[in-house]
């Protein structure tokens, strides 16, 4: 097994990014094989349980109240509808159900409503994850007591680039919530978004911040920005395929035992690009036709890709024999 490090320097990370492409992928894939079954992909499903009206000003986000994106604001979903969506995700092969609410931070009253959802989804036999914004230490302990498995709180980008993306909170606020979650012994899901005007040094710095946490995130979702009309980033230049794949590979090397997830933006990735990402160390996807407010490949196309790549065949064979 590969040793986990928490003391990466920025230069060390940047040196990984500039390795010859084949050397980088070979190193990442070798580490991946030592820690995971290379042909097994964990499947998560993500549901937006409260849409829009977020007071934050993240320049990329369709749910910010600061921008006119045409998104219809919705109140917190009723629990029966959430459970219906969870059952559908489970029937389609998802093992983890993630629920997201567009809040800066939850009130204790709203948190109680989400706790009921968490408990009922767990009763179905699925892992649970929520993303609700910033948490106090007390709220993190309440979620732990409710049985929550994972808390998602992405750091988005580098500390250096963060103020260029959002001004209503700062980078340390993100780290403080991650610390509260880990103090409560809840597993952390934290990654970032590529395509926020960052450069390669920013990507290196973002991964360094994640890997130098006291405990590596259990899941590291890496998103390819989906530009939303009406947001300040609607015309921003996306990273190249090479840049995105390199980030996947470096994340795998730096956080060898973390699950690295292909998240938003997969509709912009061809089958070949996704296959190379899996080779480079990605071993999870979000499943379902929508991620919060952006499109995602349908389950049939994902299953077809898995079959052609020989992925999750053990799971498929087990399901067929039941």
Instruction: Give the chain's end-to-end CA distance (angstroms, integer).
Output: 34
Query: What's the CA gap between 70 and 89, in Å, rounded?
Result: 27
Residues 6+ apart with CB under 8 A from 37: none
DSSP helix/strand/coil, 193: strand
Say what the alpha-carbon torsion angle 161, 286, 187, 176 is, to the nearest 10 degrees.
20
Residues 6+ apart with CB under 8 A from 317: none
DSSP letters, 107-127, are -HHHHHHHHHHHHHHHHTT-E
Residue corresponding to tokens 């750091």: 155
The reply, when asked if residue 277 is annotated as ligand binding, is: no
Known catalytic residues are 54, 58, 61, 98, 129, 189, 261
In the annotated binding site for [4Fe-4S] cluster, the residues are 54, 58, 61
Binding-site residues sit at 54, 58, 61, 98, 129, 189, 261
Residues of the binding site for [2Fe-2S] cluster: 98, 129, 189, 261
């Amino acid at each position: 097994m590969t040793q986990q490090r928490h003391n990466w320097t920025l230069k060390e990370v940047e040196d990984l990014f500039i390795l010859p492409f084949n050397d980088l992928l070979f190193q990442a894939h070798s580490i991946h094989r030592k820690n995971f079954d290379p042909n097994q992909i964990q499947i998560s499903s993500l549901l937006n349980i409260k849409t829009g009206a977020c007071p934050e000003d993240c320049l990329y986000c369709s749910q910010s109240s600061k921008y006119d994106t045409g998104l219809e604001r919705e109140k917190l979903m009723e629990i029966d509808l959430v459970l219906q969506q969870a059952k559908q995700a489970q029937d389609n092969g998802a093992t983890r159900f993630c629920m997201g609410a567009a809040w800066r931070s939850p009130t204790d009253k709203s948190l109680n409503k989400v706790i009921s959802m968490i408990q009922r989804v767990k009763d179905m036999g699925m892992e649970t994850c929520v993303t609700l914004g910033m948490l106090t230490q007390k709220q993190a302990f309440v979620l732990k007591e409710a049985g929550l498995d994972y808390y998602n709180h992405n750091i988005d980008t580098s500390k250096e680039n963060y103020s260029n993306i959002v001004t209503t909170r700062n980078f340390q606020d993100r780290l403080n919530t991650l610390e509260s979650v880990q103090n409560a012994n809840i597993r952390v899901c934290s990654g970032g978004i590529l395509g926020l005007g960052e450069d390669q040094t920013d990507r290196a710095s973002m991964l360094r911040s994640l890997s130098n946490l006291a405990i590596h995130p259990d899941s590291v979702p890496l998103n390819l920005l989906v530009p939303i009309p009406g947001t300040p980033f609607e015309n921003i230049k996306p990273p190249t395929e090479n840049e995105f794949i390199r980030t996947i590979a470096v994340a795998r090397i730096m956080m060898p035992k973390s699950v690295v997830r292909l998240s938003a933006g997969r509709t912009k990735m061809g089958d070949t690009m996704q296959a190379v990402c899996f080779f480079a160390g990605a071993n999870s996807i979000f499943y379902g036709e929508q991620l919060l407010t952006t499109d995602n490949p349908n389950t049939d196309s994902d299953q077809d890709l898995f079959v052609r790549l020989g992925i999750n065949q053990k799971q498929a064979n087990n399901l067929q024999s039941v």
